[in-house]
Amino acid sequence: MKTSTKSLAATLLLGFAALVFMFPSPILAASKAQIDRDVDAALQQLFDSTPAAKKLAAEAKAILVFPSIVKLGFIIGVQGGNGALRENGMTVGYYNTAAASYGLQAGIQEFGYALFFMSDSALQYLNKSEGWEIGVGPSIVIVDAGVARTLTTTTARKDIYAFIFSQKGLMAGLGLQGTKITRINPD
């Protein structure tokens, strides 16, 4: 039993080291200016690849963008990254997203996601919470290719729509349930 614990610890340590060398930007503390540049690039990439996101942005009260989330897992999984909340194209706050999971999983992946807040009440929930766990609170619809084809500003009636984009790497499964979002104050 002692050998398997040592093997697991060594694997997790090697995995973390690989994470630092392969994807250093989300691990290191980013400045406001760097987060804003990354958010600008991520939004442009999302709008170019998903026209439904661009249409929805025109109606959204705010958009919370996490341009680079890194997920690492081997039985125990962790993910995290920083982003910015945009209202009318202007940054009004900075946030961190983090999650942990366990189970049959192995791999490393980088991705981004954007949450389109369509109602004032959903945005107020984010602003009032001391840390918001996705899956508790306002309803969220994950927009995949099928939903994106039928989504219009007329049919968009949920509180929040989530777009996952720029997936790189290999990790079985991807979700936002259990992710905690917390306001931060970067330099």
Domains of the chain by residue range:
2-184
- In the numeric block, which tokens belong to residue 68? 């680079």
Asked if 39 and 67 touch (Cβ cutoff 8 Å), the reply is: yes
Residue 20 has a pLDDT of 45
Residue tagged 């959204």 (tokens): 60
pLDDT tens string 47-95: 999 998 999 999 999 999 999 999 888 888 888 999 999 999 999 999 9
Tell me how far apart the terminal alpha carbons of the chain are, to the nearest angstrom. Answer: 45
The pTM for the full model equals 0.77
- pLDDT tens across 1-44, in order? 455 555 555 555 455 544 444 444 444 568 999 999 999 999 99
